């Protein structure tokens, strides 16, 4: 049975940018008392705390910004990366190309791009758009993967600048430092803590090709879910026995 359990956040532990419901909160707290629990997400630590109740503060590791800002259970920052200026320039250039091409009607243009330090996330609809609308927009990330395939030359230029991009959450493109993805940073934490990879498991909703959890495949055992209900069914049946 796994000793160290890694979770994606949006659509895995909670719905996009929403608070974990009390029924799941109790199970999550129980798991944190029994295992090492690690939340791995593109969002910042502040966003994790908006979605995971304060009742479990200090009981899990946070690998925010795809793991490029890592915080221990006690709040100690383990490492924190930053983009270089040329990487940001390349990222924002691709964001503009996609934005101008899509011409989507959105509620708030200022809500589309979040610069988190070591990750820039561009939401096609807006980070704070209605959750149901976001979930219905691009299930399985097919639209976003098609956009990236269409702009493969621009994506290669981005990589040449030292940045990478993948679909994230429900409507976003997550831009990260090239090579420093979820799989890389999970390995980094495992090695730092002296854990064995075979004692770990990663649970996520985007383990499909091109998904933002895909880089974990081959790093540690993985388990694919489609939503938080499925995640907590898995926890109860397999991790709390």
Q: SS3 for 214?
A: helix
For residue 210, the domain's CATH number is 3.40.50.1000
98 Cβ contact partners less than 8 Å away, ≥ 6 residues apart: 122, 124, 147, 151, 173
Same domain, 64 and 75: yes
Same domain, 110 and 147: yes
Same domain, 55 and 69: yes
Is 13 in contact with 51 (CB distance < 8 Å)? yes
Tell me what the mean pLDDT of segment 6-26 comes to. Answer: 97
Same domain, 223 and 114: no
Same domain, 60 and 101: no
Same domain, 23 and 106: no
Number of domains in the chain: 2
Tell me what the mean pLDDT of segment 56-78 comes to. Answer: 97
Residue 54: domain span: 4-80+180-239
- According to the model, what pLDDT value does residue 201 have? 98
C-alpha 216: how far from chain center: 11
- According to the model, what pLDDT value does residue 241 have? 75
Which CA distances in Å does 66 have to 97, 101, 229, 239, 241? 24, 27, 23, 24, 30
Same domain, 146 and 93: yes
In tens, the pLDDT along 37-48 reads 999 999 999 999
Residues forming a β-bridge with 79: 70
Same domain, 58 and 168: no
Same domain, 76 and 185: yes
Q: Point out the domain boundary residue: 130, 148, 177.
A: 177
Encoded tokens for 124: 């096609």
Same domain, 26 and 143: no
* Confidence category of residue 105, pLDDT binned at 50, 70, 90: very high
The secondary structure of the chain in percent helix, strand, coil, rounded to multiples of 5, reads 45, 20, 35
- According to the model, what pLDDT value does residue 59 have? 98
pLDDT greater than 80 at residue 205: yes
- Given CA atoms 104, 120, 230, 25 in this order, what sign does their dihedral have? negative
Q: SS3 for 122?
A: strand
In tens, the pLDDT along 122-159 reads 999 999 999 999 999 999 999 999 999 999 999 999 99
Proportion of the chain above pLDDT 90, given as a percent: 100
Same domain, 8 and 59: yes
Tell me what the mean pLDDT of segment 21-32 comes to. Answer: 97
Q: How far apart are CA 105 and CA 125, in angstroms?
A: 8
Closest CA to 79 of 92, 88, 66, 97: 66
In tens, the pLDDT along 169-199 reads 999 999 999 999 999 999 999 999 999 999 9
pLDDT greater than 90 at residue 200: yes
In tens, the pLDDT along 29-38 reads 999 999 999 9
Same domain, 89 and 168: yes
pLDDT greater than 80 at residue 92: yes
For residue 137, the domain's CATH number is 3.30.1240.20
């Amino acid at each position: 049975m796994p000793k160290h359990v890694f979770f994606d956040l949006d659509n895995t532990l909670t719905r996009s940018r929403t608070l974990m419901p009390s029924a799941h909160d109790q199970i999550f707290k129980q798991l944190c008392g029994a295992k090492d629990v690690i939340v791995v997400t593109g969002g910042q630590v502040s966003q994790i705390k908006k979605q995971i109740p304060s009742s479990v503060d200090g009981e899990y590791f946070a690998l925010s910004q795809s793991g490029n800002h890592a915080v221990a259970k006690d709040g100690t920052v383990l490492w924190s990366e930053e983009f270089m200026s040329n990487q940001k320039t390349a990222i924002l250039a691709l964001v503009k190309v996609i934005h101008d091409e899509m011409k989507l009607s959105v509620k708030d243009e200022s809500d589309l791009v979040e610069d988190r330090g070591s990750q820039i996330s561009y939401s096609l609809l807006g980070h704070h758009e209605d959750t149901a609308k976001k979930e219905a927009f691009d299930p399985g990330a097919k639209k976003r993967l098609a956009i990236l395939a269409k702009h493969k030359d621009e994506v290669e230029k981005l990589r040449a600048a030292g940045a990478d991009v993948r679909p994230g959450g429900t409507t976003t493109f997550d831009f990260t430092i090239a090579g420093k993805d979820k799989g890389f940073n999970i390995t980094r934490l495992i090695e730092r803590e002296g854990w064995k990879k075979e004692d770990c498991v990663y649970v996520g909703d985007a383990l499909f090709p091109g998904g933002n959890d895909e880089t974990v495949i081959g790093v540690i055992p993985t388990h694919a879910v489609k939503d938080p209900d499925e995640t907590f069914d898995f926890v109860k049946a397999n991790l709390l026995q």
